[in-house]
Structure 1
Amino acid sequence: MKKLMNWTARAVTVAGIAAASMAPVSAQTVYQVPALSDYSGPFAAIMPMVGPGREGVVNWWNAEVGAKLGVKLEMKTYDTRYDTAQTASLWPGVLATKPLIGLSLGGPDVAAIQQRLPTDKVPMILGSAATGFSWRPNQWVMSTRPTFVHEFTGFVEWFQKTKAGGSRPVKVAMFTTEASPTFADLGKGINAYAKANPTKITLVEMVYVEPQPADVTLQLRRVLNAGAELILVPTNIQQAVAVKRAMQALGKNVPMAYSIHNSPAMLQKLVGGMAAMEGDYEVHSGVIATEEDNETKKFYDMLVAKYGMKAPWHSLTTVGMSQALVMVRAVETAARKHGGDKLTGELLYKTLIDTNFTGKDFFGYSGGDIDYSVEAPFPTRDPRVNIGQVVGGKLTTTATQVPVPKLAKW
């Protein structure tokens, strides 16, 4: 406990050294923060992790940083059911609370409000990866991660150098679907990358299947027979399970790579345990939620011990934590510069655009620095990807801060 208390003190110093030097503030300005969520739709199962992750960070920041700046963030949850129409219908009521900045959950709410936010003057922080179709100027939903395509091309280049020797292209197959705009965009982006980088990747096949396929054994046998040595399944849990079961049925052990939302921790109970994914990878710019003793895990432990955060140590808990950390750092920076009682959504947007937040600001909860621009609503200057792998039946950290290649729009 003494070790934890010492670390907590250090974290607070890093978080609010400038704020601590200010004179005590007698009054606080309370700002509304809408947290778009899904407690009754297709991703309801993840909210007991994402939601408390958000709350834990906000509670910590309010007590240890915001209080010294005269700022309190009051977060309110809105159940969008992960539905575009529901989000659009709720948004007028959200605006009526005069929100300062908000937390986005995913594609449906981005589609519902992205184009109206510049008028509404409410920036939103998204914990998921961005998409190619959001790569447009003047966007106000800003992702903590680069696009899924950036993340997976960074992984492919790492795999090609470290596992395929770097002297030849690695043979890759990918499973996705055209039924989802995000997953179709992934297919389009990886196809474009493969065409532009024939010395690094040979795309054996882009396999388009249903969002919830019953069986993909024939498709997987086809790509394995064609020599695929790496299978990408960055889409949903259902496709990942289907491909893994097909791999088991064929008696093969070609490595598969997943994203954070369909990670081994999410899949293990559905495929026979973590050991069934031996050699598989988890790939994204977020946290690889292993049991290793590091700064990231210590920050989580502090929120549990000191602020009663009730969420397991899980990759999806870290999604909520990371987006909340980006949000509070933006509020903190703006408050120090302009005063805690003078914050507006437009001022927060300008702060996000003008500030290069260094990776150390986030205790390991980002892939690196967070920098936004008018041209792109995700980090573009030096995005990084983290890679985990199941080894000995346990998820381990294989590589961190792996550079992501510069990509042209697809």
Structure 2
Amino acid sequence: MTSIKSWAARAAAAAGLFASALAPAAAQTVYQIPALSDYSGPFAAIMPMIGPAREGVVAWWNAENGARLGVKLELKTYDTRYDTAQTASLWPGVLATKPVIGLSLGGPDTSALQQRLPTDKVPMILGSAATGFQWRPNQWVLATRPTFVHEVAGFLEWFQKNKAGGSRAVKVAMFTTEASPTFADMGKGVLAYAKANPGIVNVVEMVYVEPQPADVTLQLRRVLNAGAELVLVPTNIQQAVAVKRAMQALGKNVPIAYSIQNSPAMLQKLVGSMGAMDGDYEVHAGVIATDEDTESKRFYDMLVAKYGLKAPWHSITSIGLNQTLVMVRAVEAAARKHGGDKLTGEILYNTLIDVDFPAKDFFGFTGGGEIDFSVEAPFPTKDPRVNIGQVVGGKLVTVARGVPVPRLSKW
């Protein structure tokens, strides 16, 4: 009798396994994610890095996390040409797909949509740094990095402590332009920070030039003669190249600090080589794309090997990885709480506001700090950090990781 019962139990178990194998997979809810892009405008050259990076993260997340949560994300690219009017004209079509969250590219997207999104109930994730004029309550374009000025301030405090002994103010010059609202805001914010922190930094001059200056040798000679020991060019590639060429023409080697969008990797061919920038810095709240064995590089290598990522290991690629990681973590948290089939834009926005996402969720792509947003600030404010790279011996290396960013007053 015992053997018959045992056989029956085994048969029932086998039948159950067979039935499970024939049962359909758990239903997945598909959400279309608008990925605002620029394939025919001023930043078309960088989209072959940002676009595949976004797609690689989504492919990884769908397989590793989405399948368990009953969620599948599908990116849909919209070419805005990095133009405010084009973004606005495309937006009704985007809304027709009922998006719950999206990926932004930059200033034109923000200008076109920021005032609409609270009504349309669609949060957007921006991989660039924020600006001072975005620092307003109830914003739905949320930046993964603090403002450019926060990033510069974090670097200045590190430089003053580690390169100037921390006992005196560092003499600094900065190149920017008033022709761009974002770049003008950078100048305004850095001057406000310097005024509030005279023991840390002394801005010998805020140099305003054209967005694409032909030559800045006279301006650079003037600030170097005034004693500038660091030159900030956190703006665009054209200004960075002009300042570097002027430095070479003058035969000086005062360090220059760039941001992620005009990093040494972007400039090396334009100024001769990476070695031509020896001593210069790259500073931002993202990953420094060096050859070093880091968690960020290992994650990138995994996406290449397992999920078909076809984009070079580069600072620009890291922007796409950064913003998409923040987006999928928000979807993940919302799906766990509300159910994968019940997501809405409002639920995603509230998740982004209410949840503090730990730094470990982002494999180093957020500068080492956690991601937190609030109704008051559309960028991380609790623990923003910057990474600092420097060109040494013709190679970019990381010289400081997770440098705290100071708290700033609005400017």
**TM value normalised by structure 1:** 0.94
Summarize deviations over 1:67-97 as a string: whole Å, max 9, x none. Answer: 1100000100000000000000000000011
| Matches of 1:36 and 1:243, distance apart in 2 | 31
Unaligned runs of 5+ in 1: 1-23
Counting only pairs closer than 5 Å after superposition, residues 45-194 of structure 1 correspond to structure 2 as: 45-194=45-194
Equivalent residue number for residue 6 of structure 2: none
| Matches of 2:295 and 2:153, distance apart in 1 | 27
| Matches of 1:211 and 1:26, distance apart in 2 | 53
Alpha-carbon contact 1:25-1:69 (below 8 Å) kept: no
Equivalent residue number for residue 14 of structure 1: none
Counting only pairs closer than 5 Å after superposition, residues 267-282 of structure 1 correspond to structure 2 as: 267-282=267-282
Gap change, CA 1:130 and 1:25, over 3 Å in 2 = farther
Equivalent residue number for residue 298 of structure 2: 298
| Matches of 2:26 and 2:386, distance apart in 1 | 43
| Matches of 1:347 and 1:32, distance apart in 2 | 16
**What's the offset of the Cα at 1:25?**
6.0
2:376 matched to 1:375? yes
Equivalent residue number for residue 390 of structure 1: 391
Q: Secondary structure at the match of 1:270?
A: helix
Q: CA RMSD for the aligned pairs?
A: 0.7
Counting only pairs closer than 5 Å after superposition, residues 333-348 of structure 1 correspond to structure 2 as: 333-348=333-348
Summarize deviations over 1:244-285 as a string: whole Å, max 9, x none. Answer: 000000000000000000000000000010000000000000
| Matches of 2:286 and 2:208, distance apart in 1 | 26
| Matches of 1:297 and 1:280, distance apart in 2 | 22
Equivalent residue number for residue 321 of structure 2: 321
Letter in 2 for 1:361: D
| Matches of 1:186 and 1:85, distance apart in 2 | 24
| Matches of 2:234 and 2:85, distance apart in 1 | 26
Alpha-carbon contact 1:153-1:190 (below 8 Å) kept: yes
Give the total of aligned pairs: 387
Q: Which runs of 4+ in 1 moved over 3 A?
A: none
| Matches of 2:196 and 2:41, distance apart in 1 | 38
Equivalent residue number for residue 402 of structure 1: 403
Equivalent residue number for residue 38 of structure 1: 38
| Matches of 1:213 and 1:204, distance apart in 2 | 21
| Matches of 1:295 and 1:237, distance apart in 2 | 28
Q: Secondary structure at the match of 1:386?
A: strand
Letter in 2 for 1:392: G
| Matches of 1:377 and 1:104, distance apart in 2 | 13
Gap change, CA 1:103 and 1:283, over 3 Å in 2 = same
**What's the offset of the Cα at 1:222?**
0.1
Q: Secondary structure at the match of 1:372?
A: coil
Alpha-carbon contact 1:25-1:67 (below 8 Å) kept: no
| Matches of 2:295 and 2:186, distance apart in 1 | 32
Equivalent residue number for residue 17 of structure 2: none
2:216 matched to 1:212? no
Q: Secondary structure at the match of 1:178?
A: coil
Q: Secondary structure at the match of 2:152?
A: helix
Gap change, CA 1:364 and 1:25, over 3 Å in 2 = farther
| Matches of 1:72 and 1:117, distance apart in 2 | 23
| Matches of 1:32 and 1:375, distance apart in 2 | 28
**What's the offset of the Cα at 1:399?**
0.2
**What's the offset of the Cα at 1:176?**
0.1
Q: Secondary structure at the match of 1:151?
A: helix
Summarize deviations over 1:189-226 as a string: whole Å, max 9, x none. Answer: 00100111100000000000000000000000000000
Alpha-carbon contact 1:103-1:323 (below 8 Å) kept: yes
Q: Secondary structure at the match of 2:146?
A: coil
Letter in 1 for 2:375: V
Letter in 1 for 2:390: Q
Q: Name whichever of 262-271 and 24-33 sits farther off.
A: 24-33
Q: Secondary structure at the match of 1:67?
A: helix
Alpha-carbon contact 1:25-1:70 (below 8 Å) kept: no
| Matches of 1:381 and 1:50, distance apart in 2 | 27
Q: Secondary structure at the match of 1:145?
A: strand
| Matches of 1:266 and 1:403, distance apart in 2 | 26
Letter in 1 for 2:154: G
Unaligned runs of 5+ in 2: 1-23
| Matches of 2:46 and 2:110, distance apart in 1 | 18
Q: Secondary structure at the match of 1:350?
A: helix
Q: Secondary structure at the match of 1:371?
A: coil
Q: Secondary structure at the match of 1:74?
A: strand
**What's the offset of the Cα at 1:63?**
1.0
**What's the offset of the Cα at 1:348?**
0.2
Equivalent residue number for residue 19 of structure 2: none
Gap change, CA 1:86 and 1:273, over 3 Å in 2 = same
| Matches of 1:384 and 1:297, distance apart in 2 | 19
**What's the offset of the Cα at 1:228?**
0.0
Question: Sequence identity, in percent?
Answer: 83
